[in-house]
Amino acid sequence: MGIFKGFKRFFFKENFEFSRPDVDLDNFHPQLRRLIIPLGIFFNNQDSFIRFLNPVLNSTMVLIAVVMEVIFVTHGIKTVDYSFSTECFCYLVMLLYVPVLYFSVLVNKDSMLEILDQMEGDFKFICNLDDKHRDHFLKRQLLIWQFCLIWMATISTVACLIGLRTLIPLTYQTLISTHDEHTIRPLLFPVWLPEDDPYRTPNYEIFLFFQMYFLWMFVQSFGVNVYIQFHMLIHNYTILELVIIDFEMIFEDLDKNVVYLSRYHPRRVLTQRIFNKRIQRIVAWHDSVFTSFDNLSSIQGPVICYQVLFSPIAVCLMMFQIADKLEGGKIDIYFAVLLSVSTFQLWMPCYLGSLLRNKGFNVGVACWNSGWNTTPLARMIRNDISIVMSRAQQPLSMKFFCLPDLTLETFSSIMSSAYSYFNMIRQSNN
C-alpha cells in the first residue's frame, strides 16, 4: 500500500506546491529537457559536437540494420516465405523512423529551443496571473505530466515484454533444457544469413546484443518523440483555452457609461488602456500559437510525413501477420500489441490536430459570444474584435511538403488505405 500511495502522490504531483511563486517549465516538467538531450539538443553548451554522438551512432547502426532487413526481405520473397518477409519489412519501416527523427531535430535545433523558450515564458507569465488562469493552466500541465508517465510506462512495458519473450525461453534452455530436446536459442526478431547459421556462437550473441540495443534505441527515440508531440500540442491547446477565457471576461468590471464621455476624458482613457492590455494579451497568445505551430511544423513535419506515408504499410503488414497466425490456430500477442501501439501513435496526433483546429475556430466563436452586442463598450474595441475574428478563421495545422492536415479524417483515410493493402496482400497470398 505504501508503494501505491507513493506512486499516487507522484502521479498527481501531490508533493508539488502548485501555489509556489517560482513555478516554471523545468521544475514542473523536469523530464522534458532530459528526454530531449539524447536527440541531440544541448541546453548549456548548445554548439558542442558531443551532441551529435548519440544521433550519429544510432543512425549509423540503423542504416546497417536496414541493409540487413533488406537482405531478409529479399530472402523471404525468393523462398516464398511471405510471413518472414512481411515481418522483416515491418521492422524496416520502423527502423527508418529513427534517422528521420534525428535529422529533423538536429537541422531544426533553433526551432526546438525557441519552442521551449516560449513555453518557459508562458509558465512564468501565466503563473503570475489571477487564480482562474493559473489554475486552469496548471491543471492542463498536470494532464501532460500524467500522459508522459502513462505513455513512457506503456512503451517501456511493451519493450520489456519483447525482451522477456526471448529471455525467458533462453533462461529455460540454459538452466533446464537438455541436449536431446534439440531447441534453438531464440532471438527478438527473425534473422537469416547466407551460407551461415545465425544461431551459432558467436553469431547468436552478436545478433542478440544488437537487437536489444535497437529495442532500447527505438524506445528512446520513437517513445520520446510521441510524448514531445503530445506535450507541445496540449500546451498550445491550453493557450487557446486561456484566450477563450479572456474573451469571456473582456467586458468585466468596466463602466459602460464611459462610452458617452469625451475620448480624452480620464475615465474613458483609463478604460481604453484596460481594453488595450486585454486585447494585447489575447493577440499575443493567439499569435504565439501560430508561431509555435510554424516551429513545430519544421521539427515534426518530416517525422509526421514519414508516419503518414508509411504507417498504412506497417499497419497492413502487422494485420497480415496476425491474420496469418490466426489461420494456423495461433494468436500473435506480440504483433497485436505492436499494432495497438502503432495505431495509437498515429491516432494521437490526428486527434489532437482535430482538437486544436476546432479550438482555433472556437476562438472566433468566443469572440462572437463575448457579449459585444449587449454593451456599448464594444464600440471601443470594434475593430480589434473584427481583426481577431478574421484571424481565428485561419485553421491551425502543421504544414510541410506533402503532409495532409492532421485530423481524424486523415487517420480514417490512413486506416482505410491500410485495410485496402491488407486485402490485396491476402488475395495475392491465397
List the grid coordinates of 48: 558542442
178 CB-side CA count, 13 A: 2
Mapped onto helix, strand or coil, the DSSP state of residue 18 is coil
Using alpha carbons, list the distances in angstroms from residue 239 to 114, 126, 294. 16, 10, 16
Q: Is the pLDDT of residue 137 over 90?
A: yes
- As a whole number, mean pLDDT of residues 192-209 equals 90
Distance CA 235, CA 33 (A): 15
Distance CA 210, CA 61 (A): 9
pLDDT value, residue 114: 94
On whether residue 316 sits in a domain, the answer given is: yes
Using alpha carbons, list the distances in angstroms from residue 391 to 285, 361, 384, 385, 421. 13, 9, 11, 10, 40
Distance CA 210, CA 200 (A): 15
On whether residue 206 sits in a domain, the answer given is: yes
Distance CA 90, CA 412 (A): 21
On whether residue 8 sits in a domain, the answer given is: no
DSSP character string of 296-310: HHHHHHHHHHHHHHH
Q: Which pTM does this prediction carry?
A: 0.90
All residues at 6 or more sequence positions from 348 whose CB lies less than 8 Å from its CB, including other chains: 226, 229, 230
Distance CA 307, CA 345 (A): 9
**pLDDT-based confidence at 1, cuts 50/70/90?**
low
Tens-place pLDDT, residues 268-325: 999 999 999 999 999 999 999 999 988 988 898 888 888 878 888 888 888 888 888 8
List the grid coordinates of 403: 503532409
* 73-87, 196-210, 402-416: least confidently modelled range: 402-416
Using alpha carbons, list the distances in angstroms from residue 418 to 208, 265, 315, 343, 354. 31, 67, 6, 11, 21
163: exposed, middle or buried (C-beta count within 10 Å: 0-12, 13-18, 19+)?
middle
On whether residue 409 sits in a domain, the answer given is: yes
On whether residue 411 sits in a domain, the answer given is: yes
Residue 284, Cα to own-chain centre: how many angstroms? Answer: 25
Distance CA 324, CA 317 (A): 10
On whether residue 334 sits in a domain, the answer given is: yes
Q: Is the pLDDT of residue 47 over 90?
A: no
On whether residue 12 sits in a domain, the answer given is: no
Tens-place pLDDT, residues 320-352: 888 888 887 887 787 887 788 788 878 888 888
On whether residue 10 sits in a domain, the answer given is: no
- Domain membership of residue 47 as a residue range: 25-429
pLDDT value, residue 169: 86
DSSP character string of 176-240: T--GGG------SS----TTS-TTSTTHHHHHHHHHHHHHHHHIIIIIHHHHHHHHHHHHHHHHH
Give the total number of structural domains in the chain.
1
